Structure formats: C-alpha cells, structure tokens
Amino acid sequence: MMTHAYQEMYLSKAQATLGDVFHYAVNICDIPGKDFVKLFIVSSVSKQMENGEPAYLVGKSGIEIVREITVETKGYEVQIELQEHFVRSKEYWIGWAVAYYQWYSGRKYRDIFKVISFEELQKMYDTLHEADITKFADIVDAKIKEYFPETNLKRIRTVYGLTQAALAERSGVSLRSIQMYEQRNKNINKASADTMYRLAKTLGCTMEDLMEQ
C-alpha cells in the first residue's frame, strides 16, 4: 500500500500552489526553470511541503512562496505584481504535476528532480498535460525505480556496514528473508510489524525508512 505524503484533502490546493510557484518564478520573475528547481529543492519550503505543512500546502499563495524562496536562497526578495493567469502555462503544469507525484510517492522533491530534469518535464508537457495525472505518475515512478535500483533495506544496511548474514544474526530475521527483501522477491511493505521493528532497530532507522514506495 502506497504511503502518501499527506492527507488527500490538501492535494488539489497543493498542486495549484506549486503550479503557481513555478509559473510566477519562470514567467514573471524570469528565473530559468532549471535554476529555480535548484533554489526550490535547497529551500526549507520544499521540505515544508514534503512534510505536509498546511501553511505551505494551502495557506500561502504562489507569489508568497516564490518571494520566500528567493529571500532564503538568494538573499533578496523578488518584486512580483499579482497577475491573473487563466490558461495553464507549461510551467504551471510542471509544478502541478510534480506536486501530485510527490504526494503520491512520498518521495523528497530533491530525489524527484534528481531523476527528472526541468527540461525533461517541459518535453513531457505536450503529450501528458491533457492525460490523466496517473499516467505521469507511472512514468516518473518507472524512472525513479530505474535510478534508485537498490531497496531501502540494502542501501541502509550497506551504509551501516553490515553484511546480510550479520544483519540476520543481530536482528533475528532469517538470512533468506533479508535476501528476498533486497532482491524484491518479497515485498518488505508486507512484512510483519515485528520483522520491520527488528530490522529497523538493528539498523538504527525507522520502520518507515525501510518501506518501498
């Protein structure tokens, strides 16, 4: 079962907000899209949105967020006059679609933009902007899984410096189970709470860290 980033009740507003953010940054403030992506992912704003902070999902306008990002990352506040935009720009769609995928997957914005660039998103607009948003999500999901082929369990275990056998001995989870989780032959998201707890405790992480998107 997919664990979403925050409650679905906030989703449509969050999409519209991030759509506005990208529209205003690129089309009104003349910040190149690929440059704005860099500012966005290093800002605290992206983390607040990832964490489902209502003030950023539904409480602030796109203009307010662009100003906040530029102050935090560049040290100055852009001057933007509110302009109505009745047609979805390409940049609006990019923010709108990426916000959906982040909610859908629970992944960090920096990981999403690491896998798919602003330029690639622009190219996707023509074929996908009128399609169901789930088609976009499926395409990005496939790219993400290709880019991050290791399971979270293997990645965390490797960083922790344990072999599969050592992890099995310390956690009490069978070596075969660990091998099958890492090879994706068994879905770790369906593991028992006790198994997840033992693995997480041994590796010094949370059970959520071990789950796959």
CATH of the domain at 202: 1.10.260.40
Q: Which of these three, 121, 147, 173, is where a domain ends?
A: 147
Phi, psi angle pair for 103, to nearest 5°:
-65, -45
Which pLDDT belongs to residue 2?
A: 53
For residue range 64-109, list pLDDT tens digits in order: 999 999 999 999 888 777 666 667 899 999 999 999 999 988 888 9
Higher-confidence residue of 185 and 203: namely 203
Within this chain, do residues 101 and 141 fall inside the same structural domain, yes or no?
yes
d(CA 46, CA 82): 22
d(CA 144, CA 75): 32
pTM: 0.74
Range of the domain at 189: 152-210
d(CA 93, CA 130): 10
38 Cα distance to chain centroid: 14
Residue 1 lies in a domain: no
Please report which confidence band the pLDDT of residue 1 belongs to, taking 50, 70 and 90 as the band edges: very low
Q: Which of these three, 147, 163, 191, is where a domain ends?
A: 147
Residue 2 lies in a domain: no
Within this chain, do residues 111 and 167 fall inside the same structural domain, yes or no?
no
The total number of structural domains that make up the chain: 2
